[in-house]
Amino acid sequence: MTGVGPDTTTVVLLALFGLAAGVGITAVGPGGVLATVGLFVLTDLSPAQVAGTALVTHVATGLLGTAAYVRSGELREPGTRRTAWLLAGASVLGTPLGVLANTLVSGRVFGLLLGAFVALVGVLVRYRERRAAPTGAAFPSAWVTLLLGFGVAVVSGVFGVGGPMLTVPLLVALRMPVLAALAVAQAQSVVIATVGTFGYVAHGAVDWPLAALVGVPELAGVLIGWRVARVLPARTLKAGLVVALFVLAPYLALYGG
């Protein structure tokens, strides 16, 4: 914000966006973009500040999500660990490029790009929902994993989102089991968020109070989403996320910035 703190309504809405983002991150993968959307719509932050502040929150959510999936066993499997390391390594190179690209766009262009990105995520979630879940572990090759990790990291650096946003739908499309995809994406998001945070801090583009306001409820959402992913059918949650994304996309493109 520019010298004046958010009013009570804005505080509540930002906290709710954070909570919903956290649930989406660990329950269905996509969801972290809601933190970016909330900051973009409800504050007067610049595109770099929106992305930088959102990325800060994903450091903690990524660590918590990774710990949760280590505890439940998905990140202890050799194939899953290998995929996670490859994605993380590629993210070290891709994320700084995304940060640099963000600093070159105006608020209006950022709104258009964010609207298009939100719509794309909605399509990917819907596509994943329509595919039959794989019955056996299937992991992409090392080169495919590296290319996927690099591309996701670039996009994540631009918009201030974590790895699960795109990584989960793409890995599931490549026949990886959903829980394994969710697990490796949490580990990747730690690298994306950490590297991206350093980049945006260097540009003076992080609003720390707003990061805390969004990030604390987001952490609570991560734990809720992890339980949802492991215990309850996520069809209704995914359907609600798709609807929300498709409603938000035209608003961001037409009125954002």
pLDDT value of residue 21:
87
Tokens for 196? 């991206």
**Tens-digit pLDDT profile for residues 182-208:** 889 889 999 999 999 999 999 999 999
Q: Where are the domains of the chain?
A: 8-255
Beta strands in the chain (DSSP E): none
pLDDT value of residue 2:
46
* Contact call for residues 138 and 175 (beta carbons, < 8 A): yes
Tokens for 224? 């809720």
pLDDT value of residue 212:
94
pLDDT value of residue 93:
94
How many CA atoms, within 13 angstroms, populate the side-chain half-sphere of residue 63?
Answer: 9
Query: Which DSSP category does 132 fall into?
Result: P
**Tens-digit pLDDT profile for residues 20-76:** 888 877 776 667 788 888 998 899 999 899 999 999 998 988 898 888 888 888 788
Maximum pairwise Cα distance, the chain: 54
| Residue with the larger pLDDT of the pair 109 and 47 | 47
How many CA atoms, within 13 angstroms, populate the side-chain half-sphere of residue 121?
Answer: 38
